[in-house]
Amino acid sequence: MPLIDELVALLGPERVRHHPLDLAVFAKDAGVTSGPVVAAVFPETAAEVAACVKLAVTHGVPIVPRGAGTGLAGGAVPIDPGLLIVVTRMNQIHEIDEIGRTAWVGPGLINLDLSTSLASRGLHFAPDPSSQRASTIGGNVGTNAGGPHCLADGTTVAHILAAELVTADGDIVIVGSDAPDLPGLDLRAVVVGSEGTLGIVTKVLVRLMQNPPNAATLLIGFSTIQDAAATVSRIIASGSIPAALEMMDRPMVEAVEAFVQAGYPTDVAAVLLAEVTGTGQSVADTTSLIESIAHSNNAASIRVATDSAERALLWKGRKSAFGAVSQKAPDYYLHDTVVPRTRLVEVLGQIYEIGERHGVEMLNVFHAGDGNLHPLVAFDANEPGMFERVRAAADEMVRASIEAGGTLSGEHGIGIEKRDLMPLVFNEADLDAQARIRDAFDPQRIMNPGKVLPSGSRCFDASGARL
Ligand SMILES: Cc1cc2nc3c(=O)[nH]c(=O)nc-3n(C[C@H](O)[C@H](O)[C@H](O)COP(=O)(O)OP(=O)(O)OC[C@H]3O[C@@H](n4cnc5c(N)ncnc54)[C@H](O)[C@@H]3O)c2cc1C
């Protein structure tokens, strides 16, 4: 194939993978969809990315940007035979400005590696997706990733100051800046969360945060889901926003305990994991406040960890939750919806009912503080009709969340998975406005086509006349 020959001439045979076994590996992300891959290439510089883009455009082959492939919405999976531009070799920390609290990093840098390498300076990168041991900063930018500690600090978009982007024309541009108040349109915010549809991020200017001097982690057990959810609402209503506020139901707690023995109580209906950070007195005050709210909502047990080993163990339990499900069944389908916190109990009730009605086994672990639900269905895809049941249940859960005033996704993105559900939250004019922005970046629609926006979102021709 001429495109592959030209890519090999550009990058060498080692960095152009097109053997059927390689293509099978890259046909999927961590979600449930797979797609046809022409080749996967591994550039090391923005100039190489730009050259790959130009070759793909010349040959009319769709381009799909890819990081670690841990996405759950099919964002890094091509729909039509496509060229995967995998940025994992662009994993350098280019420069750290300790005074300005920023760093320029490569998009292939693994999220946790950034914070680990900043530890001796007392700094960290705040977004901490549970996949942070594997997912890349570029992928985090692509999906606007969240994580337990994004409750107080905000999701990825709040921590990206600028990005270098290779556009569909093969141009290398920078959106955003380290200036405190950049005039003009905020294209940086448009690029974050655009799931590779506006270009390929080749460098990122990240904001660095100071490590807190003190922290406490509370593990609170409840005999009912209702009491746990009411505690979440009361904590948020108190105005003292903890650094993190996570919830797990009993099936998930049991799976985690069997997997990593984090010391969670298995005789309760739900646990809350709350983290408080700050200086000694403020941590003590907020910890007491959370304890008293939990007591007044019938907490069955409260454990407070202040030493770093015990806190790390409690967090290991939370961050291993998805892996723990592998003990239950060979496959899982992980949902990601958002509901108003005040309606957590009601929507959770509906979600359990939907799971039961479709006969699927479900475990729940989620970012309770921001109402971001993650019902997780464990299943065996080899069982006839099972996948269809899982998908039907998933659709109903999304609809229930939206009917309660919530939205489609809290952090995993839209990708292919939820593309056709976008009209549930956006009207025709909203979708058209988004499609116009995409077309301004990529008029040929060669950059990750078919993702995020449902087909037919663009209702106007290039002159602005309605089609
Ligand atoms: C066990 C597990 C736990 C998870 N926990 C969380 C969580 O807590 N929070 C959360 O938000 N997500 C979570 N995820 C989902 C996933 O890890 C995140 O979406 C992550 O940000 C994806 O990063 P990645 O490097 O794997 O990107 P990929 O999967 O490779 O790509 C994701 C999207 O970003 C685009 N993209 C990737 N790199 C670039 C680039 N350089 N330029 C432009 N676009 C690009 C891709 O085209 C695709 O649309 C979890 C996934 C798993 C498997």
Q: pLDDT digit string (tens) for 379-430?
A: 999 999 999 999 999 999 999 999 999 999 989 999 999 999 999 999 999 9
Mutate to test the pocket of ligand 1, among 25, 26, 64, 70 (most ligand atoms within 8 A of CB): 70
How many C-beta atoms surround the C-beta of residue 316 within 10 A? Answer: 14
How many C-beta atoms surround the C-beta of residue 24 within 10 A? Answer: 11
Q: Which pLDDT does position 182 carry in this prediction?
A: 84
Number of the ligand 1 atom closest to the C-alpha atom of 128: 8
The Cα–Cα gap between 384 and 209 comes to: 49
Residue 277's DSSP bridge partners are: 215
Fold match between domain 1-211 and domain 214-322: no
Residue type, 136: T
Number of the ligand 1 atom closest to the C-alpha atom of 30: 53
Helices (H), 337-461: 344-358, 386-403, 428-441
29 lines ligand 1 (CB under 6 A): yes
pTM, full prediction: 0.94
The Cα–Cα gap between 213 and 232 comes to: 25
**208 Cα: distance to centroid of ligand 1 (angstroms):** 20
Residue type, 234: R
Q: Which pLDDT does position 458 carry in this prediction?
A: 63
The Cα–Cα gap between 402 and 368 comes to: 17
Tell me how many helices (H) and strands (E) the chain has.
Answer: 15, 20
Mean pLDDT across 113-120: 97
The Cα–Cα gap between 377 and 322 comes to: 10
The Cα–Cα gap between 442 and 406 comes to: 30
Tokens representing residue 365 in the block? 């672990």
Mean pLDDT across 99-116: 97
**130 Cα: distance to centroid of ligand 1 (angstroms):** 11
147 lines ligand 1 (CB under 6 A): yes
CATH no. for 214-322 = 3.30.70.3450
Give me the CATH topology for the region 1-211: 3.30.465
Number of the ligand 1 atom closest to the C-alpha atom of 410: 11
Residue ranges covered by each domain of the chain: 1-211, 214-322, 328-419
Q: Quick check: 463 pLDDT over 60?
A: no
Mean pLDDT across 128-141: 96
**71 Cα: distance to centroid of ligand 1 (angstroms):** 4
Question: What 8-state DSSP symbol labels residue 211?
Answer: P
The Cα–Cα gap between 293 and 82 comes to: 53
pLDDT digits (tens, 9 = 90+) for 177-194: 988 788 899 999 999 999
Which of these, 367, 294, 301, 380, lies nearest to 335 by C-alpha position?
A: 367
Q: Which pLDDT does position 208 carry in this prediction?
A: 98
Q: Which pLDDT does position 464 carry in this prediction?
A: 40
448 lines ligand 1 (CB under 6 A): yes
Question: What 8-state DSSP symbol labels residue 110?
Answer: B
Instruction: Tell me what the pLDDT averaged over the chain comes to.
Output: 94
pLDDT digits (tens, 9 = 90+) for 6-37: 999 999 999 999 999 999 999 999 998 899 99
Q: Coil, helix or strand for 273? A: strand
Number of the ligand 1 atom closest to the C-alpha atom of 196: 44
450 lines ligand 1 (CB under 6 A): no
Mean pLDDT across 42-51: 98
Q: Which pLDDT does position 459 carry in this prediction?
A: 53
CB 108 within 8 A of CB 138: yes
76 lines ligand 1 (CB under 6 A): yes
pLDDT digits (tens, 9 = 90+) for 335-390: 899 999 888 889 989 999 999 999 998 999 999 998 999 999 999 999 999 999 99
Closest residue by Cα to atom 21, ligand 1, is: 140
**140 Cα: distance to centroid of ligand 1 (angstroms):** 5
Tokens representing residue 77 in the block? 């999976």
Q: Quick check: 465 pLDDT over 80?
A: no
| Residue keyed to tokens 């690029």 | 191
**195 Cα: distance to centroid of ligand 1 (angstroms):** 9
Tokens representing residue 353 in the block? 């009912």
Which CATH class, in words, describes the domain spanning 328-419?
alpha beta
What is the chain's alpha carbon radius of gyration, rounded to the nearest angstrom?
22
